[in-house]
């Protein structure tokens, strides 16, 4: 099974990356240690976003690795994302330049529109109220970032099929990737097939069900309960026991076998290693089928943008059915 997926235009994305979106507030050292440990283990793909507040720390770690000569820039794959207050044609460049400054890089490998929802720009760190976005105009500004050499590839996150189709139809540079929530409870086969049919590499976020997310979001003032305990699922445990693998490894391997990239977050060196070692076993077709049967459809969704702002459910650009 490939350790890389090839994106449109031939650019390669490592099949396993490090997620950095869900660290507890004020834990800079934990983020720094996690990124360092991941690079030591051989991770070369790091997922961040302007919204996560981890770009600056990642930048510091990367700077050390790059200037010591331990790693070359072309061996890394760095993804970051345009926040909601940047989903305007005249704001894309501002935000990407700021992310590059924080990351201490000349370019990112993948720049994503974080969500289809635009929020008024109050200042660079402050989103205002939700407004309707012009995705076609914003995409043109994303394409200009590729032309300017600030992003090697560009893509989308949390967009639905209709929204992606609209971007594709008007695009000069096609979206290279879509990052979406994919867990065993929310497998989104139709959206994944649409992407694969259009040569869009799918990246799964919160693949492990984001255990502990309730506590992390509570620190940021949001009230969202933890999702189901996916890692404790008996079917997955039984399958793992057959291969001598953990539940997390079974889940991540399941997605990799479906040509889906995974970006699990961990701050624990043992778990970081576990999540990276997915290439010495293969799930049988029967086991894949059994895991497919765990799909609960839309009711299995963990993150809904409306959990953060309830009125978003009525918003024209709200990407989910409810
Ligand atoms: N585009 C978007 O809108 C969006 C939304 C959400 C997330 N993301 C991205 O996707 C990344 C991953 O999603 P996520 O952080 O929500 O959730 P996740 O990767 O599903 O789960 C992370 C949690 O699982 C624990 N964990 C990690 N490996 C484990 C293992 N092998 N065994 C047991 N527990 C394990 C971690 O705890 P320890 O740290 O203690 O190991 C951490 O609390 C994010 O960090 C972010 O980069 C993107």
Q: Is position 223 within any domain?
A: yes
Q: Is position 290 within any domain?
A: yes
146 φ, ψ (degrees, to nearest 5)? -70, -45
Q: What is the pTM of this model?
A: 0.98
Q: For the chain, how many structural domains are there in total?
A: 1
CATH of the domain at 246: 3.20.20.100
Q: Is position 70 within any domain?
A: yes
Order of strands, edge to edge, in the sheet holding 45-47?
Answer: 18-19, 45-47, 77-82, 108-113, 151-157, 177-181, 201-205, 260-262
Q: How far is the CA of 98 from the centre of ligand 1 (A)?
A: 25
Instruction: Cite the active site residues.
Output: 52
Q: Residue 4: CB partners within 8 Å, gap ≥ 6?
A: 12, 13, 14, 15
Query: Residue 303 sits in which domain range?
Result: 4-314
41 in Cβ contact with 72 (< 8 Å):
no
Q: What is the pLDDT along the chain (322 residues), one digit of tens a residue?
A: 579 999 999 999 999 999 999 787 778 899 999 999 999 999 999 999 999 999 999 999 999 999 999 999 999 999 999 999 999 999 999 999 999 999 999 999 999 999 999 999 999 999 999 999 999 999 999 999 999 999 999 999 999 999 999 999 999 999 999 999 999 999 999 999 999 999 999 999 999 999 988 888 888 788 777 888 999 999 999 999 999 999 999 999 999 999 999 999 999 999 999 999 999 999 999 999 999 999 999 999 998 888 888 889 899 999 998 8
Angle subtended at Cα 199 by Cα 9 and Cα 157, rounded to the nearest 5 degrees: 100
pLDDT at 212: 86
Q: How far is the CA of 38 from the centre of ligand 1 (A)?
A: 14
65 in Cβ contact with 58 (< 8 Å):
no
Query: From the alpha carbon of 265, which atom of ligand 1 is closest?
Result: 19
Q: How far is the CA of 205 from the centre of ligand 1 (A)?
A: 7
Q: Is position 169 within any domain?
A: yes
Query: From the alpha carbon of 180, which atom of ligand 1 is closest?
Result: 1
Closest CA to 131 of 115, 145, 148: 115
Query: From the alpha carbon of 205, which atom of ligand 1 is closest?
Result: 10
């Amino acid at each position: 099974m490939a350790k890389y997926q090839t994106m449109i235009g031939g650019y390669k994305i490592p099949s396993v990356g490090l997620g950095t979106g869900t660290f507890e507030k004020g834990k800079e050292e934990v983020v720094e240690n996690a990124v360092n440990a991941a690079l030591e283990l051989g991770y070369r793909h790091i997922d961040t976003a302007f919204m996560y507040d981890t770009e600056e720390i990642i930048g510091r770690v990367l700077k050390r690795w790059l200037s010591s000569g331990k790693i070359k820039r072309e061996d890394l794959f760095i993804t970051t994302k345009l926040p909601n207050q940047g989903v305007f044609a005249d704001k894309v460049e501002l935000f990407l330049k700021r992310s590059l400054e924080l990351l201490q890089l000349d370019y990112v490998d993948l720049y994503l529109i974080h969500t289809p929802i635009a929020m008024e720009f109050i200042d660079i760190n402050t989103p205002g109220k939700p407004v309707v976005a012009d995705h076609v105009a914003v995409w043109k500004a994303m394409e200009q970032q590729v032309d300017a050499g600030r992003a090697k590839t560009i893509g989308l996150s949390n967009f639905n099929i209709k929204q992606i189709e609209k971007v594709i139809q008007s695009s000069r540079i096609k979206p290279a990737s879509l990052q979406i929530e994919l867990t065993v409870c929310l497998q989104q086969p139709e959206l994944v097939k649409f992407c694969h049919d259009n040569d869009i590499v799918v990246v799964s976020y919160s693949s492990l069900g984001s255990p502990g997310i309730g506590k992390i979001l509570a620190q940021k003032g949001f009230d969202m309960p933890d999702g189901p305990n996916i890692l404790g699922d008996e079917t997955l445990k039984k399958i793992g026991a057959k291969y001598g693998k953990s539940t997390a490894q079974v889940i991540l391997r399941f997605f990799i076998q479906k040509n889906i990239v995974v970006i699990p977050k961990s701050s624990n060196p043992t778990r970081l290693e576990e999540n990276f070692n997915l290439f010495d076993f293969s799930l049988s077709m029967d086991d894949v089928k059994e895991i497919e049967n765990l799909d609960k459809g839309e009711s299995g969704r963990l993150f809904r943008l409306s959990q953060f702002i309830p009125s978003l459910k009525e918003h024209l650009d709200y990407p989910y059915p409810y």
